[in-house]
Structure 1
Amino acid sequence: MGIVVNQSIKNTFITFVGFAIGAMNTLFMYTHFLGEDYYGLTAFLLSSANIMMPLMAFGIQNTLVRFYAEHQTEEEKSRFLNLMLVLPLLLVVPIFIGLALFYNETAELLSQENPIIFDYVWMIPVIGLFMGYFEIFYAWVKVHLKSVFGNFVKEVLLRIFISIFLLAVHLNWLTSIQFVYSLVFIYFAMMLVMAFVAFKVRKPEFHLQFPKDKKEVLLYSAFIIFSSGIAVLLLDIDKFMIGQYIPIKEAAYYSVAIFIALTISVPMRAMHQITHPITTDLMARKKHEELNQLYKKTAITLQVVGGFIMLGILTNIHQVYALLPEKYSGGISVVFLISFSKFFDLMLGNNNSIIFNSKYYRTVLLLGLCLVVVTVGLNMVFIPSFGIEGAAIATLISIGLYSIAKLMFVVFKMKLFPFTRKTIISLLLIALTFVVFYFWNFPFHPIMNILLKSVLLAVWYWFLNYRLAISEDINAVVKKGLKFNTPR
């Protein structure tokens, strides 16, 4: 467990660094350098490619992790890895043949509302292919317990490349059109870097024979395509559908708002790196009471930390948008709606880790499929009527229903419950803090306003959280910090 926790902590740090670079790209470089139409086109293409990625990867990124350890000899492992590299071609080749034969029809269908999309449709499966094989090579190093560099490439290096190309646009070394085309090169380069690292960890040895368990591997991969596809669709379908119903520039406004709101999810991604192996271990050893305590602790800790981030965003949102081009200001309501949906998901702690390590994961995946249908339907209804606010409403309803369904499974099927009396106290404190600070602004530059209000909010919020002892884990960290800084 030591190496897992150690790499999880390093990956958490890398995730935060990558998010900071992403914030610079999204809130400043994209909005000021690229222009709203091409930013919207970029968001559409990458979201569409991400939707295709599970098909292009054939679920191999999960299959490799699941079955690798079951192969004992070096020859069996080599045969298995060979199969992992070849299997995606079962879908990749037909998809590309179909696109080549019916490109005009496909491009016309996707570009009915926004003709600018027509010439770039070919990029969607190409980038999706590079994303898919990147994940396969990343899984290749994960099974050898060397995940840190792969996470660095995915979270940091990719964003640095995008920053460099956006800066090139600003310096007139590239046009906006050339930047869009450069996305193919960027994702191809990331795939090559990850392949180089993977093959350095273990060089492939090509055999003509495949492993004996290939039927089981195929079935599991098909199941993972299904489950991964649901997760990606729930995450990116809104940005794809915006391009089908309203002007593509609206996707740019939506992307900025979504990025701001998704900041709330960073603590959950970070904590998942650490709690997932612990959750898996407790469930394997059937430690029900310890698992229930971990569930409660993760839920209240994420609620407190996520609540602070949400308050920082919502109480400063008008000042944040004052730093952006005025056209982007329509996304403020989207930030509120998505923030509420993500915060509710955050309140459920390590819910996902519990479910997907239980015998009920197939049922929840079927529920997820139903939810995808509901999400698409809600977007079809709300986007034409309310624009990007409609997409946010659809997302709020969808994530809310999905989160409630997962919570019910854990509560009624597994007899685990995440909430305590402290949950209500924390919610009341968050509501009170919002009322106190939302309407309180200073007559300064937006950056100074944000800094001053954030400092006051932090002192107020964390002092009350500590005094009320809402989260034992947070209080323990604070006490340890105070003890460390006390002069001896």
Structure 2
Amino acid sequence: MGIVQRQGLRNTIISYIGLGLGFVNTALVLPNFLEPQQLGLTGTLSSIATLYAQVAAFGFASVGIRFFPYFRNPEARHHGFLPLLLGVPLLGFVVVTALYFVGEPLMLHWYADDATLLQPYYAWGAVLALFMLLYSLQDAYLKGLYHTAVSSFIQDILQRLLIVAGALLYACGVLPFSGYVVWYVGVNGTISLLLTGYLAYLKELHLRPTRAALQIKPLRELLSMGGFTLLGTLSGTIIMNIDMLMVGAQVNLTAAGIYGVAANISTALAIPARSLNKIAFPLLADYWKQQDLPRMADFYRRTTLLNTAIGCYLALGIGLNIDFIYSLMKTRYAEGAFVVLLLLGSRLFDSITGVNGLIVVTSPRYRYDLIFNTSLSILTVALNWILIPKLGISGAAVAAVIAQVSINVARTWFVWYSYRLQPFTWRIPLVLGIAAAAALAAWLVPLLHSLLLTMLIRSVVLTAVYGVLLLLTRAVPEVNGLVQNLARKLRS
């Protein structure tokens, strides 16, 4: 087994563990240790730092992956690639940091109701952004070296465990809240330092700059590619973080904390799609290379059907048991229950429309993906700006639903119009009908004296009705195939 296969297998295992751990920690564990306002503060700092680091990096994390093969030469220390990869973003960080501190009065003005809470930690946002920047650049360098498993473990598992450890120290009275914030920032510094140590261990920490780095690829070409990439990655980052920031600014940090937990609960629906995308991306790229549109069409339909079946089951499992989930947290967080239901609908629609975004980004018309991402980020900001003052945290969720539905309809139409590919078959409405029947059966289970017992019975009914109907109707052939394979193994 080659290094790429070994790293891919390790990354898959780490990714599943990390996604599950992330859901449990951010949706269930941290809300028991921290108040909504405290989670809102740390979430806001993290979102600010993420945008900050993206702008400073100027797309060089992606540039590093794209252009490293031209520099690869272990004997020549990769022609000074690492100092170049770090140097331009660090110069960008100096510029963005100056703007960040000059803009402090304006930023705090946006958070007028909570400015006194945010101000003592404002400088820590810059430190956090620096650590995030360094981590992303070193991670990109390691990807170019085909050493990704360690960085995945550090980010997906170790970082999450360390953050929970800090929250536990706060809950036990060992740390004050200010100490927890410093711990949170320090965790990001720790994982960045661990990557530096890992590079040194691999004997790939080449920090001496050379002129050869500017001769292999002109700096202008790197900056041009970086600028294009920045627009795409920044749009994605805005889409992922702007609702949290705008809830904090237009309502308060407490509302941001409640909204953040609700958003984290709904991310359980995205876990299968994220895992699928890691496989789908290289497959779709290969189909485009071979111009094999029939196989791409088949893959598009089959993955959409599978995503719909899994997405419906997870959405119903969470939605029907939302009271039990919130019973595991502090009472105040339950204000986000309706937000969870809205966001589940948004993510489910994303599943039902399939891998349209990946088809666009791997296609010859990949530049249109930038148009879609930019349009989505603008639409998301505008809708949040209009709806949050009127509806509070529910407004942010409604904005997410409208934006997600709109962009997926546009992408699906674009893929059909450009390449005559569409993901829908008669099996999709059949799966939706089965999901509705299973939901009704589980919903008819009366509320018992114990929310835990209610959750268990509803989950059993949902699973039984949904599973049996899927098998009897053969709505998803892959499910029948899986069951038959398991039955054969059991018989043998």
Does TM, normalized by the shorter one, top 0.5? Answer: yes
SS, match of residue 252 in structure 2: coil
The correspondence of residues 401-420 of structure 1 with structure 2, limited to 5 A, is 401-420=406-425
SS, match of residue 174 in structure 1: coil
1:223 and 1:429, CA in 2 relative to 1: closer, same or farther beyond 3 A? same
Name 1:217's counterpart in structure 2: 222
SS, match of residue 93 in structure 1: helix
The correspondence of residues 238-387 of structure 1 with structure 2, limited to 5 A, is 238-387=243-392
Shift of 1:9: 4.3
Whether the aligned pair in 2 keeps the contact of 1:9 and 1:273 (CA below 8 Å) is no
SS, match of residue 30 in structure 1: helix
Shift of 1:419: 1.0
1:308 and 1:155, CA in 2 relative to 1: closer, same or farther beyond 3 A? same
Whether the aligned pair in 1 keeps the contact of 2:342 and 2:398 (CA below 8 Å) is yes
Shift of 1:451: 2.5
Name 1:464's counterpart in structure 2: 469
1:326 and 1:185, CA in 2 relative to 1: closer, same or farther beyond 3 A? same
Whether the aligned pair in 1 keeps the contact of 2:127 and 2:185 (CA below 8 Å) is yes
Name 1:39's counterpart in structure 2: 39
**Structure 2: how far apart are the matches of 1:414 and 1:121?**
48
1:83 equivalenced with 2:84 (yes/no) = yes
1:275 and 1:134, CA in 2 relative to 1: closer, same or farther beyond 3 A? same
Which one is further off, 298-307 or 79-88? 79-88
Name 2:27's counterpart in structure 1: 27
Q: Residue by residue, what CA displacement relative to the aligned partner does 1:460-484 show, whole Å, maximum 9, x if unpaired?
A: 2122212222223333222222211
**Structure 2: how far apart are the matches of 1:311 and 1:12?**
26
1:244 and 1:187, CA in 2 relative to 1: closer, same or farther beyond 3 A? same
Q: Residue by residue, what CA displacement relative to the aligned partner does 1:151-190 show, whole Å, maximum 9, x if unpaired?
A: 1111111110011101101111011222122221011111
Name 2:201's counterpart in structure 1: 200
Whether the aligned pair in 2 keeps the contact of 1:76 and 1:211 (CA below 8 Å) is no
Which one is further off, 411-420 or 389-398? 411-420
Shift of 1:232: 0.8
SS, match of residue 349 in structure 1: coil
1:449 to 446, 449, 454: 454
**Structure 1: how far apart are the matches of 2:412 and 2:440?**
29
**Structure 2: how far apart are the matches of 1:439 and 1:118?**
50
**Structure 1: how far apart are the matches of 2:439 and 2:473?**
18
| TM-score, normalised relative to structure 1 | 0.94
1:66 and 1:474, CA in 2 relative to 1: closer, same or farther beyond 3 A? farther
**Structure 2: how far apart are the matches of 1:2 and 1:467?**
42
Aligned residues: 486
Whether the aligned pair in 2 keeps the contact of 1:261 and 1:335 (CA below 8 Å) is yes
Name 2:15's counterpart in structure 1: 15
Shift of 1:392: 0.4
| TM-score, normalised relative to structure 2 | 0.93
**Structure 1: how far apart are the matches of 2:316 and 2:384?**
27
Q: Using the aligned pairs only, state the percent identity.
A: 25
Shift of 1:136: 1.5
Q: Residue by residue, what CA displacement relative to the aligned partner does 1:417-462 show, whole Å, maximum 9, x if unpaired?
A: 1111111111111222222213424414222322332123212212
**Structure 2: how far apart are the matches of 1:3 and 1:416?**
35
Whether the aligned pair in 2 keeps the contact of 1:25 and 1:163 (CA below 8 Å) is yes
Which one is further off, 80-89 or 256-265? 80-89
The correspondence of residues 129-144 of structure 1 with structure 2, limited to 5 A, is 129-144=130-145
Whether the aligned pair in 2 keeps the contact of 1:9 and 1:274 (CA below 8 Å) is no
1:474 to 479, 483, 492: 479
**Structure 2: how far apart are the matches of 1:96 and 1:190?**
22
1:78 and 1:452, CA in 2 relative to 1: closer, same or farther beyond 3 A? farther
1:247 and 1:171, CA in 2 relative to 1: closer, same or farther beyond 3 A? same
Shift of 1:311: 1.0
**Structure 2: how far apart are the matches of 1:321 and 1:441?**
18
Which one is further off, 396-405 or 341-350? 341-350
**Structure 2: how far apart are the matches of 1:72 and 1:232?**
30
Shift of 1:281: 1.4
Name 2:489's counterpart in structure 1: 484
Whether the aligned pair in 2 keeps the contact of 1:38 and 1:180 (CA below 8 Å) is no
**Structure 1: how far apart are the matches of 2:32 and 2:77?**
53
Shift of 1:22: 2.4
Whether the aligned pair in 2 keeps the contact of 1:113 and 1:245 (CA below 8 Å) is no
Shift of 1:327: 1.5
**Structure 2: how far apart are the matches of 1:363 and 1:352?**
10
**Structure 1: how far apart are the matches of 2:305 and 2:5?**
21
Shift of 1:358: 1.4
Which one is further off, 430-439 or 33-42? 430-439
1:330 and 1:203, CA in 2 relative to 1: closer, same or farther beyond 3 A? same
Whether the aligned pair in 2 keeps the contact of 1:465 and 1:471 (CA below 8 Å) is yes
Whether the aligned pair in 1 keeps the contact of 2:427 and 2:475 (CA below 8 Å) is yes
Whether the aligned pair in 2 keeps the contact of 1:8 and 1:273 (CA below 8 Å) is no
Whether the aligned pair in 2 keeps the contact of 1:302 and 1:347 (CA below 8 Å) is yes
**Structure 1: how far apart are the matches of 2:95 and 2:139?**
25
**Structure 1: how far apart are the matches of 2:126 and 2:484?**
52
1:158 equivalenced with 2:163 (yes/no) = no
Name 1:99's counterpart in structure 2: 100
Name 1:121's counterpart in structure 2: 122
Which one is further off, 39-48 or 366-375? 366-375
**Structure 1: how far apart are the matches of 2:4 and 2:487?**
28
Name 1:426's counterpart in structure 2: 431
**Structure 1: how far apart are the matches of 2:399 and 2:72?**
48
Shift of 1:290: 0.8
**Structure 2: how far apart are the matches of 1:296 and 1:211?**
46
SS, match of residue 321 in structure 2: helix
1:398 to 393, 403, 420: 403
Structure 2's unaligned 5+ residue stretches are none
Q: Residue by residue, what CA displacement relative to the aligned partner does 1:100-143 show, whole Å, maximum 9, x if unpaired?
A: 4x265245334313221122222223212211221221122212
**Aligned partner letter, 2:208:** F
**Structure 2: how far apart are the matches of 1:419 and 1:310?**
20
Structure 1's unaligned 5+ residue stretches are none
